[in-house]
Amino acid sequence: MAPKRPAAGSSTQANQKRRKESTSSESEGDAAPSTSTQTGKSGTSSNTLKTAAAKLVRMALFAEYRTLPLRRDQTARSVIPSDVRAFPAVLDRAQTTLRTKFGMELVELRSRHKGNMFVSGDTQSVQTQTQTQIAKKKGRPSLAAIQEESEDEGEGEQPQTQAATQAKKTTTGTKTYVLRSVLPAELLAHMSIPDPLPLRDDDERVENEKPDSGALLRWEKAAGTVSAHPALLGVRTVVLCLVLCLGRVVGDDHLHALLRRLNLQRDTLLPFTSPDSKESYLTLDKYLDLLSKQNYLEKIKLPSTGGPSEQTYEWRWGSRESEFSEKDAAKFIADILIDENQDDDDEPRRTRNATRGEERPSAVDQRKRLRTDIERSAGGPLMGDDW
């Protein structure tokens, strides 16, 4: 007996039901992609962002070793050319890696030719003070004088508007980044303490090998440029401190006149270089020009009334001030001038002070007084992290 065949109507209904189920499952799969492969509005996959962030970290480390800044537009096209709009997400991932793995972070440089004239919350006042000092040195009326004169004439709104606009521009980012350390200063100081390694056998020595101090941080290998040597970093620090204490702006001749007191002439050869650098030694003039190219200093050409031989320049703090701020410079000055370990058992001194009715100020009071004097010399509040 032949098996019973199903009805034609029931077979058609079953096939239609199966087609509907498969179509609905396919549409659900297309409409709900996996969150593990897509992130953000641009749809860039998580793996792509991770790879791009790793490229950005590598580029930042290499650029810092050559003391070069990273430009956002060029960097974005290099690390994630398929979706440049996803660069903020890449930057966030790279910042996390730099902070947690390397103890560093990317910071945005300020605009050039601004000196140190912007402070959050008090931008206009500091800018006006600095421009007033520059105007006095050049024999030109300052911004404050122009503003007062315009107010007397009933036209004081225009200078105020220009000053506000100029102050607003100083807060605009340059989209150019450099690396700086986020490690505590106390930790960096401890890691820099020499700890000589045990002597090796003669057969293990390398010819012409320089002795290793054993410190965890080797500052002479901090960069591959000639300016990475600690001695040259010391010269740079002294120059920045001089610029700060001279109202944040110093003429080229004035700066060299002060450096001559340290036996540093324009043509003095600085016999220091990084062991990883193949460049020759620099003279003082060439070293200052290099610091200007590296954005540690700003060399500004002034209008000349004579020929090329009478060209003059001014020096200001550069845009890489995030590495060494004005407050860091003030701390450096205080560390040199103030003895933290004052000898309280100095009987003759205490006797003289008691006779004169004077009380010897503590190191903390001396630092506060010196901080006030430096701010006065700089023409405004200092910028940077507190100390």
Q: What is the pLDDT of residue 202?
A: 53
Instruction: Choose the CATH number for 219-324 among 3.40.50.300, 1.10.10.1210, 3.90.1150.10, 2.30.140.10.
Output: 1.10.10.1210
In this structure, of 70-79, 81-90, 218-227, 245-254, the range with the lowest mean pLDDT score is 218-227
Arithmetic mean of pLDDT over the chain: 75
199 contacts 186 by C-beta, under 8 angstroms = no
Q: State pTM to two decimals.
A: 0.69
pLDDT tens string 207-222: 555 666 778 888 877 7
**Per DSSP, which regions of the chain are E strands?**
70-71, 104-108, 176-181, 250-251, 269-270, 282-283, 297-301, 313-317
Smallest CA-to-CA distance from 324 within 224, 237, 255 is with: 237
Judge whether residue 332 has pLDDT over 90: yes
CATH H-level superfamily of 44-118+171-194? MAGE homology domain, winged helix WH1 motif (1.10.10.1200)
Structure tokens that stand for 382 in this block: 């200092």
* Same fold: 44-118+171-194 with 219-324: yes
What are 249-282's pLDDT values in tens digits? Answer: 999 999 999 999 999 999 999 998 888 888 889 9
For 98-112, write each residue's pLDDT tens digit. 999 999 999 999 887
Tell me which residue of 232, 277, 239, 288 sits closest to 261, measured CA to CA. 239
> Would you list the domain boundaries of the chain?
44-118+171-194, 124-169, 219-324, 330-387
Indicate the pLDDT class of residue 115, thresholds 50, 70 and 90.
low
Residue 210's pLDDT is 63
pLDDT at residue number 362? 82
Separation CA 250–CA 267 (nearest Å): 20
